[in-house]
A and B are shown apart, each in its own frame.
Chain A
Amino acid sequence: MEEKIKKVNLLYLLGYIFVPIIICALGYALCYFCFRDGGTGAVLTTMVPSILAVVWWIFGGSLIFRKKTKELEQRFNAEGYKRNQTFYGRGKTVVLDIEKGMLGICFFWNPCQTYILPATRVEKAWVDDGKMGSGFMEGSSRVSFLFTIDGIKVRVDTFASNQRFRMDDKRILTGISKADMMVQNINEAKAHSEKNSTKKTEK
């Protein structure tokens, strides 16, 4: 049975949010019981965990994700695949070996598991240009490419903003072009993967 991909590791997500809160709460409790008069002990038990928690929430996730992305790339190379295309999306990294039809993926909220799968498991890949509004209000604030693996939809943004831009804006066109390219490469990898698997079964 093939392993199903998991976009979010709930334990990691909850730990990421609540472990620093618990450590801060323990620090405050320690300060309350042991350093009620203030001083260095009070500063160490209240300020330090609070600052560390904020630093962790801001940088911790990105650092782990970046490290795991590097590990995925190394694993991909070590398994004998060539990285024809690597897309570093927001919260997702997609690696493709087009000739051998393999796809590697790493998720921000599930960095403990990186996946290297045959592209045949991709059921569908498409582009969402995020077009909305009409007339002079027509535009987009997000362009992404999407694909489904074992029925699970994965969305990777190629452009995202809190503003809406016209459809002929340079940023939107670049986003669409990147998404089109990725979809084309995924489909190509899928076709190669299917060809490789039929060759194997014939043998």
Chain B
Amino acid sequence: MGIFQKLKAALKDDWCSGCTVQMDEVGKQLYALPSMTVGHFQDIEDPNYYVQNLVKIQKKAEIPAGVYACGTYLYHCPQCGKTVAKLVVFLPVRDQEQVDGAHLFENKALIGFLQKTQ
């Protein structure tokens, strides 16, 4: 196995760390995080928090001013079958995005919630 593949697996979120292959993006959805407003950002690493607080939306314009948003991506490894959820928490400001946190989760409850609300 090439060193570059190992490096990519270590550095890139959409690469499986075990099989060192690129995972398939199987889902992508935008959510609002009404529990988090501007000036009150907390980098929460508990997946249950996101299960309880994410509100599905269709487009960024639906998010009220000052409310955080969360972009979610679901990746599936074609070799080992592992599914990973990537959450990017950002503050939408007019036509820009201020990214404040990103997390990778393998939590089944969160992945199940995201798959159900896709």
- Which residues of A are interface residues toward B (Cβ below 8 A)? 168, 170, 173-174, 176-178, 180-181, 183-184
Task: List 10 additional A-B contacts (Cβ < 8 Å) besides A178-B38, A181-B37, A183-B65.
Answer: A168-B96, A173-B91, A174-B98, A176-B94, A177-B65, A177-B91, A180-B66, A181-B65, A181-B66, A181-B67
Cβ of B81 under 8 Å from chain A: no
**Residues of B contacting A174 with CB < 8 Å?**
38-39, 91, 93, 98
A sample of 29 inter-chain contacts (CB < 8 A) reads A170-B98, A173-B93, A173-B96, A173-B98, A174-B38, A174-B93, A174-B98, A176-B93, A176-B94, A177-B38, A177-B65, A177-B66, A177-B93, A178-B38, A178-B39, A178-B66, A180-B65, A180-B66, A180-B93, A180-B94, A181-B37, A181-B38, A181-B64, A181-B65, A181-B66, A183-B65, A184-B64, A184-B65, A184-B66
Per-residue A-contact encoding for B53-85, CB less than 8 Å = 1, 0 else:
000000000001111000000000000000000
**Residues of A contacting B65 with CB < 8 Å?**
177, 180-181, 183-184
**Residues of A contacting B93 with CB < 8 Å?**
173-174, 176-177, 180
**Residues of B contacting A181 with CB < 8 Å?**
37-38, 64-67
- Residue ID in chain A nearest B38 by CB atoms: A177
Least distance between A99 CB and chain B CB atoms (Å)? 15
Cα–Cα, bound, A20→B66 (Å):
43
**Residues of B contacting A177 with CB < 8 Å?**
38, 65-66, 91, 93, 98
Cα–Cα, bound, A118→B39 (Å):
27
